[in-house]
Amino acid sequence: MKSNRRKFLKYSALTGIGLAGVDKISYGSDAHGPGILTNTHSPYKQHFNMSGYAAPKLETVRIGFIGLGNRGPAAVDRMKRIEGVEIKALCDLRPEKAEAVKKSLEGSTHKPEIYTGKEDEWKKLCDRADIDLVYIATHWAMHTPMAVYAMNHGKHACIEVPAAKTIDECWQLVETSEKTKKHCMMLENCCYDFFELLTLNMARQGLFGEIVHTEGAYLHDLLAGNFAKEKYWDMWRLKENFRNGNLYPTHGLGPIAQLMDINRGDKMDYLTAMSSNDFTMEPMANELAAKDDFYKPYANKKFRGNMNVTTIRTDKGRTIMLQHDVSSPNIYSRIHKITGTKGTALKYPEPGRLSFEGEDWINEDEYKKIEEQYQPPIVKKVGELAKQVGGHGGMDFLMDWRTIDCLRNGLPLDEDVYDAALWSSIAPLSEWSVANRSNSITVPDFTGGSWKTNKPVDISLEKGGTTKVMI
């Protein structure tokens, strides 16, 4: 046991679970048997339950954006079209990025101030008294530090995925949000895709019966993009691939976790993960390094396995399967499969399909009838406008509009800090499992037990839906 503990501590310092989290996670035995990471932060005593929390209404949501390289500019463009939004500040380390986004706002009512040129300029943005929401779209390592600082300075925080890289960071987000009573939402846009919203509403109405098993994924051939010199600042996305696990679980997990009422009636109990070898990344790094000295630091390095499969069992005995592969020539897929006692759904390959009582997939006419009857109110109200604005087919805009509408109407957000922490925790937990011959690992309960009474996500728009859109 002592030898195993030493091995864990050595590994956790390397993988991102981190020595800072040892006081919250330690190696030991529990009800699942020996050799399992036990969350010693449990039972966690909440400072305040942020699930279902409605912050005071904001007639105008004043936003500061941090990170304007990849996703940030598109987020600014979407937000400028939403009623009751004022873009107050833009921040990026590179002046040309911030200036380009400011220029895109010329002719609008938004006159943001720019923060750039120094690594800590983002703190000045968070320090401002005239900002309500900080929208973070930087590289992953800065997500939690920026969100924690923003909340501690009186701001709500929206963070691009993942919200955190380590278990310790997950707890930092939870404890800070509870302490400050500021929302911390991970911008998991796939929760707002159209078929995912349809199946969520269908599950709410009982069409699938009891949910037994779900599957999600992020299968996307990003091999060339990860090695592209100009795509990601300081090649940060490529460097993340030295970690071996499911590094990007939330696109597939978010929608099915909401549909299963995870954190709101059920919780994840434990997971196990397995990765294949790497068959593509090291060979590409070596090939590029032979032609270009820029790539020599990445040659002959051990990258993550191509495919990771992570399985999760919930407290109610239901199961989840997640896949992650961004370095094989896969057809894009998030799977999105739901299996219940009365029916099933499957999105990929597209279009989405439905089946009931074990019969074949229903035909197109039957599908249209189901869609018309169970299309959620958010899609009926804003769906067509969202498609016109764009952003991954409109789901990005639905996400932003819904977030602003909730803040303006004093409503709980659809994705709270416990979702951000839990969904992000799959990466470091899966890393540990992969490194330990796929042994199972306990998933922390970030809700401190409130999952037993928290209410499911409400997408009815009965108390919201008032915010207008300007195309």
Q: What is the pLDDT of residues 423-470, one digit of tens each?
A: 999 999 999 999 999 999 999 999 999 999 999 999 899 999 999 999
CA distance 277 to 307: 8
Q: What is the reported pLDDT for 21?
A: 35
**CA atoms within a 13 Å half-sphere pointing along the CA-CB vector of 127:** 6
Among 338, 328, 324, 350, which residue's Cα sits nearest to residue 218? Answer: 324
pLDDT band at 471 (very low <50, low <70, confident <90, very high): confident
Rounded percentage of the chain residues whose pLDDT exceeds 70:
91
- Is the pLDDT assigned to residue 92 strictly greater than 50? yes
pLDDT band at 230 (very low <50, low <70, confident <90, very high): confident
Instruction: At 24, give phi and psi (nearest 5°).
Output: -110, -20
Helix (H) or strand (E) holding 347: none
pTM metric for this prediction: 0.92
- Is the pLDDT assigned to residue 40 strictly greater than 50? no
- Is the pLDDT assigned to residue 17 strictly greater than 70? no
Q: CB-based burial of residue 300 (10 Å sphere; 0-12 exposed, 13-18 middle, 19+ buried)?
A: exposed
Residue whose structure tokens are 């196990």: 272
Instruction: At 396, give phi and psi (nearest 5°).
Output: -60, -40
CA distance 324 to 305: 10
Instruction: Map out the domains of the chain with their CATH numbers.
Output: 61-186 (3.40.50.720), 190-452 (3.30.360.10)
CA distance 347 to 107: 41
Average pLDDT of every residue of the chain: 92
In one-letter notation, the amino acid at residue 369 is: K
Strand partners, 338: 214, 345
In one-letter notation, the amino acid at residue 111 is: K
CA angle 106, 109, 114 (to 5 degrees): 60
Residue whose structure tokens are 């051990």: 302
Q: What is the reported pLDDT for 353?
A: 98
Among 430, 425, 455, which residue's Cα sits nearest to residue 440? Answer: 430
- Is the pLDDT assigned to residue 262 strictly greater than 80? yes
